Structure 1
Amino acid sequence: MKIAIASGKGGTGKTTVAVNFALAIGDAQLFDCDVEEPNCNLFLGLDLEKQEDVSIAVPEINTEKCSLCGSCVEFCHYNAIAKLPRSVMIFPKLCHGCGGCHIVCPENAISEIKRPIGMIEKGVDPGSGISFFQGTLGIGEPMATPVIRRLQAHMDENKVAVVDSPPGTACPVIATVGEMDYCVLVTEPTPFGLNDLILAVNVVRQLEVPLGVIINRHGSGDDSVEEYCYSENIPILMKIPYDREIAVLYSEGIPFVQRMPQWKEKFRSLYEKICFISSENTSQYSCSGVRNQW
């Protein structure tokens, strides 16, 4: 079972939910796919070890072979290659690493070199049994998706995977959520929260991933989010109150399930609820998180 914790905007409590959810389940995998600014480990405090560097293949021009025909320029839809009067210029940070320019070159003048853009790290929490993975995009790098793809390659299909998605509705979110079995959208009861929740719901529905909503800081705003969910037949999975104790623990970098055992049980019940919803839709998963063989 792969469960994404996502949100239409930043600051709704998405990472808080992801970390506490994974800790409550125990013996799970937690993936921080917010590779531009991973922060799950601020709450876990694990010693991380590098697993791999993430690179993409970018073109390199052999000027002696290049006939300046322009085939590579015409092919590249990302404008990563420009033809000048006497040479061809490459813009590595615009390149998506598709390799098409190498294929279409009639002179075989284009080879590919690896350009590092990020890395994958791992840590293990012996107390909860969580295996934690995070991706980190290099400073100044514009493309998060290749790092997210490599991060997802470390998922063990026989374990529950809780995935902290990037915020928003752009390409990194689509790359993350599109591979999931279920998506939990975390929102807040404010006009901004509702607006961005609607955008996120539309994206997740386009991806055809089942979804539910958690309302964080419940009681601090109005009822518009709940009214929207009811009108759209979206299950409200949990309401986390606007609570001082939770806020204090958050400010100290402490997952609140570690100090508030009643919330550990609530998050476990949340997992069982998601399993039940998924089993109704697909009959593929049991609440153990392991794929059924029947």
Structure 2
Amino acid sequence: MKIAIASGKGGTGKTLVSTNLFNVIQKEGSNVRLIDCDSEEPNVCQFLHGTLEEEIITTTHIPVIDGRKCTFCGKCQEYCSYNAIIMLPAIKTIQVIEDLCHDCGACSYACQYDAITENKKVTGSITQYRIAPNADVLESQIEIGIYSPVPIIGQAIAMADDDAVTIFDSPPGTSCPFIATVERAEFVILVTEPTPFGLNDLKLSVETLRKLNKPFTVIINRFGLGNAMIENYLKQEEISLLGLIPFDKKIATAYASGQLITDEFPEYFRLFESLYHQILKQNQQ
């Protein structure tokens, strides 16, 4: 089972949910893997500490166009769906805009004059940490200056183990990195908070997941902070509520110290254990 923990905005508690859900599953004895897909700001390893097992350097291919062989026919520019090639035939200039290139290979396919070769460019890394014999973490980390984290997210998710429960700690928002994560999940948990911003961005996430035809449920974090706006919306839209995490100072204190609340407080271990079994039940339906 592949579960994405997501939300429409940052700071709602995705990492709180993903790390503590991971902790409960591994302590129950099931095989589990947590993939930190927020490659621009990964923070799962602030809470889960293990033994470094492997680091994979990720790369992309950048086309290099030889102006001496190029006939300026325009085929490569025509085939590029991302407008990553600038061509000025009048002054015999052609150039690839690296930040727009998606490594699709269309330009190389289009060129009939062997004017295009490819160079490798480092985009980031995927690091594996062993947390327990039945549990590990994959942290994706994008290089500074890389335009899109989508390729590295895809590479990290491709390492998901079919024999384990896999949790994706998703990037915030509803843009391409969010979609690249949730589209590969079998089930999505949206974490929200009872604030106007939380409700607004929850609506965006719900709309996106419905268009993707992804089954999902909702956890309300910091429950008790605001009014019943989130609950009323869920009832109105007939969206299932998986659980509530209370607005509790000791959660904030533990989180700020890099501690797992399921280790520190028995009542929260029981809460996340209950959430996990509800997820299993919903997945079997």
Q: What residue number does 2:3 align with?
A: 3
Mapped to 2, the partners of 1:262 and 1:241 lie a distance apart of: 11
Structure 2 residue 188 is matched with structure 1 residue 183 = yes
Structure 2 gap ranges (5+): none
Q: What residue number does 1:22 align with?
A: 22
Q: What residue number does 2:258 align with?
A: 253
Per the TM alignment, residue 277 of structure 1 is displaced from its structure 2 partner at its CA by 1.2
Give runs of aligned pairs for residues 171-210 of structure 1, distance below 5 A: 171-210=176-215
Mapped to 2, the partners of 1:279 and 1:114 lie a distance apart of: 44
Mapped to 1, the partners of 2:183 and 2:96 lie a distance apart of: 31
Mapped to 2, the partners of 1:109 and 1:92 lie a distance apart of: 17
Q: What residue number does 1:75 align with?
A: 79
Q: What residue number does 1:90 align with?
A: 96
Q: What residue number does 1:61 align with?
A: 65
Give the structure-1-normalised TM-score.
Answer: 0.92
Q: 2:120 aligns with which of 93, 114, 118?
A: 114
Q: What residue number does 1:124 align with?
A: 130
- Cα RMSD over matched residues? 1.3
Per the TM alignment, residue 35 of structure 1 is displaced from its structure 2 partner at its CA by 0.5
Per the TM alignment, residue 63 of structure 1 is displaced from its structure 2 partner at its CA by 2.5
Q: What residue number does 2:110 align with?
A: 104
Please tell me whether the aligned partners of residues 120 and 133 of structure 1 are also in contact (alpha carbons under 8 angstroms). yes
Mapped to 1, the partners of 2:281 and 2:47 lie a distance apart of: 29
Please tell me whether the aligned partners of residues 25 and 267 of structure 1 are also in contact (alpha carbons under 8 angstroms). no
Mapped to 2, the partners of 1:142 and 1:49 lie a distance apart of: 28
Deviations 1:233-257 (A, max 9, x none): 1111111011011111011110100
SS at match of 1:44: coil
Per the TM alignment, residue 144 of structure 1 is displaced from its structure 2 partner at its CA by 0.6
Deviations 1:24-83 (A, max 9, x none): 111411110000100010111334454311111111112332111121122223221111
Corresponding pairs, count: 279
SS at match of 2:12: coil
Give the aligned residue type for 1:3: I
Please tell me whether the aligned partners of residues 9 and 168 of structure 1 are also in contact (alpha carbons under 8 angstroms). yes
Mapped to 2, the partners of 1:216 and 1:61 lie a distance apart of: 51
Structure 2 residue 33 is matched with structure 1 residue 41 = no
Mapped to 2, the partners of 1:140 and 1:49 lie a distance apart of: 27
Q: Which consecutive segments of 4 or more residues in structure 1 shift more than 6 A?
A: none
SS at match of 2:136: strand
Mapped to 2, the partners of 1:218 and 1:164 lie a distance apart of: 21
Deviations 1:5-38 (A, max 9, x none): 0001001011111100100111411110000100
SS at match of 2:47: helix
Per the TM alignment, residue 188 of structure 1 is displaced from its structure 2 partner at its CA by 0.2
Please tell me whether the aligned partners of residues 8 and 172 of structure 2 are also in contact (alpha carbons under 8 angstroms). yes
Give the aligned residue type for 1:229: L
Per the TM alignment, residue 87 of structure 1 is displaced from its structure 2 partner at its CA by 2.4
Deviates more, 1:242-251 or 1:267-276: 267-276
Q: What residue number does 1:286 align with?
A: none
Q: What residue number does 1:292 align with?
A: none
Please tell me whether the aligned partners of residues 67 and 92 of structure 2 are also in contact (alpha carbons under 8 angstroms). no
Per the TM alignment, residue 204 of structure 1 is displaced from its structure 2 partner at its CA by 1.1
Give the aligned residue type for 2:65: I
Please tell me whether the aligned partners of residues 167 and 173 of structure 1 are also in contact (alpha carbons under 8 angstroms). yes
Q: What residue number does 2:236 align with?
A: 231
Structure 2 residue 35 is matched with structure 1 residue 31 = yes
Give the structure-2-normalised TM-score.
Answer: 0.94
Mapped to 1, the partners of 2:2 and 2:81 lie a distance apart of: 33
Give the aligned residue type for 2:110: V
